[in-house]
Amino acid sequence: MYGLCSEAGLDGLAKKYGLTPEQFGENLRDNYQRYDPEQLPVEPKTAAADYISSKFDSEEVVLRASRYMVALQLAHDPMVRQCVRQTYYERAKISVKPTKKGFKEIDENHPCYTMKYLLNKQVKDLYLDQFLKLTQAEEEGLLKMKMSLDMDIRHNDTFGSHSYLEEIRQLYYRDEFSHHVQLWNNERGKALEAAFEKILYPGFAKELRAKLIEEAKVSITRNCSRQLFNWLKVAPYQADQQMDYDDDDDDDYESGRSGLRVFAVAHPSDLDSATFGVIVDGKGEPQLVGERQRLKLADIESLKVFLTEKRPHVVAVAAESRQTLDVIEDIKRCISELETEQQMAPINVELVDSNVANIYANSKTAESEFLEFPTCLRKAISIGRRLQDPLQEFARLCNVDEDILCIRFHPLQDLISQEMLNEHLYQEFIYRANEVGVDINQALAHNHVSSLIQFICGLGARKGEALLRTLKQQNMHLENRNQLVMGCQLGPTVFINCAGFIKIDTTSVGDSSDSYIEVLDSTRIHPETYEWARKMAVDALEYDESAEDANPAEALEEILDNPDKLKDLDLDAFAEELKRQGYGNKSITLYDIRAELNSRYKDFRISFRAPSPEETFSLLTKETPETFYRGKMMVVRVLTIARRKPRTDQLEQANPIRDDDTGYWQCPFCLRSDFPELSEV
């Protein structure tokens, strides 16, 4: 259409409106009439008569076409669009009302219940995921939502806005009162209204809707990441006491001598079925003995024997339902009796969320790892491992099947793409895994630890899997970080990126190897700065570096045993010297090195905390503050009515009544009237 108008020469008439789009844009930007329209001395129809053609055969048609051209030019000017877009985003309002379907279906349980009637609500006042909830309800045909600028109601179903247009109209008018000027101002006003109402407002409404939806989705993904962080920030469980083995213990328990031994219990929803208990040793491996791998908690004596033989540090019970509290009470009663009868050390009983265990137990990963185990037993193993290290157990769900997405992080997480959610969740895993560090040798020895390899910075899933495969093929353990390059053929860039996050237990490696062990491989210190760490150790101990018998390695070992001497180092002076040598500002790096030498791979996660009564209620009932709150209407079944016992003074003043017809006495409190004798009342 614009091309046809231009071919007919109507762009000449469009220029006679007196103000170019660029000039109007500057007026709009400054909110001041910097440029006045140039005024023709003839009426619009007279000017339009010169442009009549076969395609535009009348003055009205020519004027209508010229207004269309001017409106299109105004709507596509960058300055005009910028000013109007900014104002639209700041002043846009929405009004919402339910449809007939929504009037019936949106009850107090619906997420849009508090928003089903909105009138001229500022869009900028919407927060978090509110707009996404409204959009979802609109797509389901439950709500009608209108968005505009300075909205007001003309009549029942029509929403419009003219306030902003009236404000800026004078910036496009010529301020005169002659008849010709008023006619041209009228044409300018129609063109301006068409540009705003037909082109700019609908386009910006679409932009703003997309922007609000995207912001809501980002808010949901952030909430999902925050929820995952709250689960991953919990450190491995620390028992109140350590139960040592006697010298005559069986060899079967040798693997449980180190680490936390957990007796994990999982029961099905049907308590008539078997409840499974399993000992998870300090390495996360299940230790099953005979028929006790299937243990019904109703058999209290069998449970006592099991606890006496296995002597776990802690008992973990999967949170399934209200009956879980009965299971916990049975276990606590057994432990209490054992403490009295056999003077056994106290054992804590902890309630553990079963959300990860339920998903893992039914996953292909668990099926391949424990093919012959029933689902409930797999769940118990997952519960025990989660108490030992939540990060490792959550990482087990980050597999090719993307089982991690089965966890409910947010009620509206299904409205965002799986790729977007996965990206944010994996980012959180990367932060936490590299903060804690990953032991490659543990991943080689125990399959459930290997899931963390994919989150090491610089490796990823493909390179991490290749690294493990190379070590297994060569039947070797990682004794030092240099082997990543020499033995595993990692490139220099990959090595520089990942070396600081791969930790090696130099103590255990040193006991099984005769080769040189670099003690700094057990720290977060990067190999590029090993020399600085050695220099700090030598300076702290005031060793003579020029002496022939000077050994920085011995200085390091001594400083690790007694790190208090590092406090006297002037790290700022050391940083200045490094800066003078061309290394840049390394002050923060030096302070990090000192902190790491004070405590190698210190775990900054928070300690495990037993769930509060409110959290226990949520774990057992699966209710949340959004689904269960004060004032919520509930359907219940009354089992019995407990009457309050009367006080002493009420008993003294009580006056039972005798029914002369039946001869029975009636209690004045419960109104029971079948007592044959007064003494029975």
What is the tens place of the pLDDT at every residue in 603-658?
A: 899 999 999 999 999 999 888 887 888 877 888 888 887 777 777 787 777 888 88
Domain boundary among the residues 450, 483, 509 is at 509
* Contact (Cβ atoms closer than 8 angstroms) between residue 113 and residue 106: yes
Domain shared by 418 and 367, yes or no: no
Domain shared by 180 and 263, yes or no: no
Domain shared by 374 and 275, yes or no: yes
Q: What is the mean pLDDT of residues 398-413?
A: 91
What mean pLDDT is reported for the chain?
84
- The reported pLDDT for the residue numbered 301 is 78
Domain shared by 261 and 358, yes or no: yes
Residue 250 tokens read as 């069986």
What span, in angstroms and rounded, lies between the C-alpha atoms of 383 and 395?
Answer: 14
Domain boundary among the residues 509, 535, 550 is at 509
Q: Does pLDDT of 335 surpass 80?
A: yes
Q: How confident is the model at residue 294 (pLDDT cuts 50, 70, 90)?
A: very low
Domain shared by 196 and 160, yes or no: yes
- The reported pLDDT for the residue numbered 460 is 87
For the chain, the residue count is 681
Q: What is the mean pLDDT of residues 557-584?
A: 88
CATH no. for residue 363?
3.30.420.140
Domain that holds residue 85: 1-232
What is the tens place of the pLDDT at every residue in 342-369?
A: 888 888 999 999 999 999 999 999 999 8
The answer to whether residue 537 is domain-embedded is: no
Q: What is the mean pLDDT of residues 236-250?
A: 59
Domain shared by 199 and 80, yes or no: yes
Q: Does pLDDT of 11 surpass 60?
A: yes
532: enclosing H helix or E strand: helix 530-541
- The reported pLDDT for the residue numbered 455 is 93
What is the tens place of the pLDDT at every residue in 53-71?
A: 778 778 888 788 888 888 8
Q: What is the mean pLDDT of residues 470-497?
A: 88
The answer to whether residue 522 is domain-embedded is: no
Q: How many separate domains does the chain show?
A: 4
Sign of torsion over alpha carbons 568, 571, 577, 583: positive
* Contact (Cβ atoms closer than 8 angstroms) between residue 305 and residue 339: no
In angstroms, the first-to-last Cα distance of the chain is 99
DSSP 270: S
Domain shared by 112 and 82, yes or no: yes
What span, in angstroms and rounded, lies between the C-alpha atoms of 619 and 425?
Answer: 22
Cα distances from 370 to residues 257, 364, 395, in angstroms, run 24, 10, 18
- The reported pLDDT for the residue numbered 62 is 79
Neighbour tally for 479: CB within 10 Å: 20
Per-residue exposure over 398-413, b if at least 16 CB sit within 10 Å of its own CB, e if not: beeeebbbebebbebb
Q: How confident is the model at residue 295 (pLDDT cuts 50, 70, 90)?
A: very low
* Of the listed ranges 42-51, 136-145, 320-329, 603-612, the one predicted with least confidence: 42-51
pTM of the predicted model as reported, rounded to 2 decimal places? 0.80
The answer to whether residue 606 is domain-embedded is: no
Domain shared by 368 and 420, yes or no: no
The answer to whether residue 155 is domain-embedded is: yes
Residue ranges of the alpha helices (H) in 300-347?
Answer: 300-310, 323-342
Q: Does pLDDT of 578 surpass 50?
A: yes
* Contact (Cβ atoms closer than 8 angstroms) between residue 280 and residue 370: no
What is the tens place of the pLDDT at every residue in 436-460?
A: 999 998 999 898 999 999 999 988 8
- The reported pLDDT for the residue numbered 605 is 92
Domain shared by 8 and 132, yes or no: yes
